[in-house]
Amino acid sequence: MIHAAEGGAGILFPIWQEMLIGAIAFGLLCFVLIKFVFPRMEQTFEARVDAIEGGIERAERAQEEANQTLEEYRRKLATAQEEAAAIRDEARADAVAAKEEILVSAREEANRIIAAGHAQVEASRQQLVRELRSEVGNLAVDLAGKIIGQRLAGDADTTATVDQFLTQIADETAETSGAR
């Protein structure tokens, strides 16, 4: 037919009816695939990329969070250890201070007691000396009066002599008490 009628070159001339059919058929195919199928594929590709990237991102976020928590715990632990050490040191210092204080107060108390004892002893001695002085004086005067007579009683010179005599005694007593 066409080919035969136009010789061998006829095969190079397209049959317009076939071109028309081809164009309609291909147009229909393009319409359906380009409108309904391939855009959805692109959407799926994007969703897939999102899903994968989102998963990685989520994992990274979780990892970071875990690291942060770990870091925080470590920090807290370190702080707690430091605090414990500080408390321990403080307690130790407190104990030492308390010990010192007790010792100091005890020493003071002891000194005070000793001092009080000394003072009391001294006071007793002074009292004794005073009592003795007057008594010994009286005794001596009485004695002397008895020995040398009534006249001598109340004479001033005699009193001075007695005092001198007593001072001498006191000095001797002091010497003996110092040697004691």
- Give me the residues that bind other proteins (CB under 8 A), please: 1-4, 8, 10-23, 25-26, 28-30, 32-34, 36-45, 47-48, 51
CB of 15 to other proteins, least distance (A): 5
User: 58 or 107: whose CB is closer to other proteins?
Assistant: 58
Provide the token pair at 177: 């008490």
Residue type for 17, please?
Q
CB of 5 to other proteins, least distance (A): 10
User: 4 or 179: whose CB is closer to other proteins?
Assistant: 4
Residue 36 carries which DSSP code? I
Residue 180 carries which DSSP code? -
User: 19 or 91: whose CB is closer to other proteins?
Assistant: 19
Provide the token pair at 172: 């001797």
Q: How many CA atoms lie within 13 A of 173 on its CB side?
A: 13
CB of 57 to other proteins, least distance (A): 16
How far is residue 58's CA from residue 68's CA, in Å, rounded to a whole number?
A: 15
